Structure formats: C-alpha cells, structure tokens
Chain A
Amino acid sequence: MDQLLKVLEDNATLTPEQLAIMLDKEVGDIRKMISAYEAEGVILGYKTIIDWDKTEREYVTAMIEVKITPQRDRGFDRIAEKIYNYPEVQSVYLMSGSYDLCVIIEGRTMKEVAFFVAQKLAPIEFVMSTATHFVLRRYKDKGIVYGAPEIDERGNCV
C-alpha cells in the first residue's frame, strides 16, 4: 500500500513539508501525488472526527436496513443514488446478507429520523421494507476509540 495514503488516512493534518520529511520524498513530489490522488478520486476529502456527545449538540444517528427490488439493468445503483442524495444521509452501503442497503442517517431527534424514514425513504419506488436501528453509544468509529483522551502512563524506568 502507498505509505502516503496510509499516513494521511491516520492523520490528515500533516503538512506536505512534514510528509516529505517523514516519507523521504521531495515536497513538490508529495504535493503532486496528493493532487493526483484527489484528481483520480482516490482521496475524496478530509474531515475531522468529533465526539459530538461531549458537546451541547443534540443529534441521533440511525442505521437503517433497507430491502429493495433491484431494477432491470441498473441493479441497486439508481435506488442507492436516490437515497444518498438526501443530505441527512451520511453513508450508504450495498450489503451482502439478509438486506440490501445499509443507510446511516443523522437527525436532531429520533422523531426527525423516524419521519425521514416514513416520509422519504420508505415511499421510494422499489423499496420493499426498512428496519431502523438507533445508535445508543459510539465506542469506536473510523478506527478511533471514543472516550477520555489517552494519557501517557509509561513509566520512566531506569
């Protein structure tokens, strides 16, 4: 795997200058590689992982199992596109197993999410059924454990 991608995936705040030193490359080359990855759609964006539970913000997250009838020629893609265009929708995955699409949405309240499912998601043509599961607590997301910041407990030994 390209080390640049791995390092950036773990920490997108590193500057091209820092990356160049760490990966033993020229700054110009790092900039070019990042631009190329962005142009090819390999790098899609940069975001910050926030534990909103530690803030005043009111929000809920739900994972919705969606069963759909695939369309001739277009399979699941058209329905997936219809669903992911809603700004409330954070993620859409095509799944193997007992349902077809896994849709993750965020809303201010459970009621808001329930309305979204009932009024927008369920009525979409070819959607056969939905099952909504609310997230009660995040333990780990994007490889990061939610909780108190890590304290360096290593002993100063010898």
Chain B
Amino acid sequence: MASIDYDLILPRRVVEMPPSGIRKFFDLLDGMSDVTALTVGQPDFVTPWHIREAGIESLESGKTYYTSNAGTLELRQEICKYLHRRFDLTYDPVHETVVTVGGSEAIDLAMRTILSPGDEVIIPTPCFVCYAPIARMCGAVPVTVQTRNQDKFKLTPELLESAITEKTKMLVLAYPNNPTGAVMDREDLEKIAQILREKQIIVLSDEIYAELTYGRRHVSIASLPGMWERTILASGFSKAYAMTGWRLGYLCAPAPLAKQMLKVHQYAIMCAPTTSQLAAVEALRHGDEDIAAMTDEYNRRRRYIYNGLQSIGIPSFEPEGAFYIYPEIGQFGLSSDSFCERLLYEHKCAIIPGTAFGEGGEGFARISYAYSVKHITQALERIEAFVKVLKS
C-alpha cells in the first residue's frame, strides 16, 4: 500500500495561507503563568441572565430542531425591527435577512457569494484578520489601503480612489474598527458614498461593534441615500450582548444578493444554532438596557486606559468605538513584535503587536480594555515598568 502524500493533496492556496498574527502571539502566551493579558477580543461580561434563561427554556421545551435556513422568521423580524430602531435601516425579514453562525460566517458568506477569481477587494488596514484570507480563498485579490493615525484611522476618499480599478468588486468597511477603535461619522461616510454611487462596487459593512461607540451613535453606510442598494450589512450578537460563545450573527442585503447568499449558507451551514436564535429574540426584545450598561462601563475603562497610557508617555489615538486602544509604541526603537515579546517575557504583560492586523501596524499595538479596572491598572503598572527600562 502506497503512503499518502499530503503535500500533493493539500492545495497551495490553503497551505500558503498564513496563520493569524494574533494566533501566533497567543501561542507565545501558552504555558506562561502570572501574565496580565489585555489581549482578548471579547466582552468580559457574561450574557445577561434573561437571555441565557431564554436559551435554557428553549432547550427545556425541546426546541432542538433545525430552523429554516435563513433562521426563524421571528428572529429575522426582530433583527429588522432592531436595525430600524437603532440605526434607521429598513430591511425585509423574509427576503433580505439571513441569520448566520456569528458575524464571521456573515463575512465569509458575503465574500464567497460575491467574489469571483480575479476580483479585487479593497481592505482598509489595520483591520480584523479574516478579510484578506477569505478573499484569497475565493481567488480574489485583496488590495489593502493603509489608514493613518493623523486621519483617525478613517478611510479617506483619497485612499479609496487610489485603490479603485476596473476590477474592484468589493470594499470592506469595518467600523467601529478592530484594532484601532476608529469610527466613521456620517460626513466621513458621505465622502466615501459619493465615490461609490458611480461604481459597480459592493460594500461589505462589518458592523459587529456598532453598539460600542462613545459619545455618538453609529451610522451605517447603508442608511445613506443610494447606498442601501450597494451594501451588505454583516453584524451579530457577540459584542453588543456579550454572546460570543453563542455564535450568532446576521446578514442584511438587497433581495437579489440575499437570495444567493442564502443558497450558499444552506449548503454550508443549514441554519444557525436554534438555541442561540431563540435566546437572541429575547436579547433584541429586552436587551437595550444591557447594551447601555455595558457600553457605559466600557466607556469608563476607555477613558481610564487612554489616560493611563498618556501618563506613562505612550501616545495614542483616542478610540471612539469598539473596546480596543491602539497606542503608538514605535518611539522606543523596537519593532512592534519585539516590544510586545519583551513586555511579555520581561514584565508578564500581554498585548498584541499591530503587525497582526495588516499593513500599517508596525509601530503600534492593540490593547483590549474588555477587562476590570483592577486588571487594567495592574497591566498599566507593568507597561510603565517596561517603559522605564526602555527609557533608561
């Protein structure tokens, strides 16, 4: 019997896909003790009890079946009511809404449905790690544009125009942004919209952090005139309701797009978990106060960590959304990777190098403040001790 050669079996596009830079850093953390980490990208709150209870009740009453491929109609209706109530968006629950396994599946589904080999996808960086690898899996070409600190990490019309070619099929717009904490206001989005209204380009708007904005309400690009038609909205329950482990998200898009995405979803996934769907109905109906309480708490920590870093002498763009801060660490003469590695090994504090989030990440690091004030205080003390060593 001949031995099997996996190198012949595995396709190049998969083998050559680099692992996530965040993952690489987490591997360094494994096995280390007493590390004060500010690394995780998920809330430190537990899902509010009334939402958990709805999930438990659904199991107790034996609701363990598949739902329809698009998700329960009840949930889709609640999603549409919620989007209308919070963000002034109008979608039809029957033809324009698909419930997915987290925001991640929503992104994957949108890209796999829309992209053909050779298509170009404009991806503003730094950003969450999944967009470029998924685009490549589709045979598409990621075209990254680096947003800049002096522009508050917003996508500017100049940057967008410089990247558009005849092959551009999609723009990924991920605001509020992971890792920078940047947001795009209505006037910022309007400048982008002015360019896109003339083009055959779909916006994939990843709005998973839409509820976590500080001192302002999130504006969806789909709510701008002429943009609804060219936008796929991807979002979910993980960040707003502290429901990461439930794996539940959704896509909203014009019916001709949603219909095709639903087809891909039905073959790949069947449907999102039923327990999670039933819990999510409760979240949307009675969860607005939970969101407000958690956002208030994040906001206090945001101010605390921003101020703490300033007083240590690490400047940072003041984040306006999500639960990350993206300080400038380039001044110490170390690469982001070695700054973070030395901080970890010498001072037992873990933060993620900016380079994990794509081009433009050198000289920066991502710090999550989804942690208690006590924990953040301890981390700041360790960072301060390291900075003192570097400055001496």
Q: Which residues of A contact B (CB under 8 A)?
A: 3, 7, 11, 14, 18, 21-24, 152, 154-158
Contact = CB atoms under 8 A, between A and B. Distances in A.
A157 B300 contact: no
27 contacts: A7-B300, A11-B373, A14-B373, A18-B304, A21-B303, A21-B307, A21-B308, A22-B300, A22-B373, A23-B300, A23-B303, A24-B303, A154-B40, A154-B42, A154-B44, A155-B40, A156-B22, A156-B29, A156-B37, A157-B40, A157-B244, A158-B20, A158-B23, A158-B41, A158-B128, A158-B129, A158-B130
A118 to B, nearest CB: 41
A11 B244 CA distance: 26
A14 B37 CA distance: 21
B26 interface: yes
Given A154-B44, A158-B129, 6 more contacts: A22-B301, A22-B304, A22-B373, A23-B300, A154-B244, A158-B23
A150 to B, nearest CB: 9
Contact of B26 (A7, A22, A24, A156): A156
Contacts of A3: 296
Main secondary structure of the interface of A (DSSP, over half): loop
A157 B41 contact: yes
Contact of B22 (A11, A24, A158): A158
A21 B307 CA distance: 7
B241 to A, nearest CB: 15
Nearest to A19: B300
B220 interface: no
Interface in B16-46: 20, 22-23, 26, 29, 37, 39-42, 44
B373 A18 contact: yes
A15 to B, nearest CB: 10
Contacts of B42: 154, 157
A112 B303 CA distance: 50
Contacts of A154: 40, 42, 44, 244
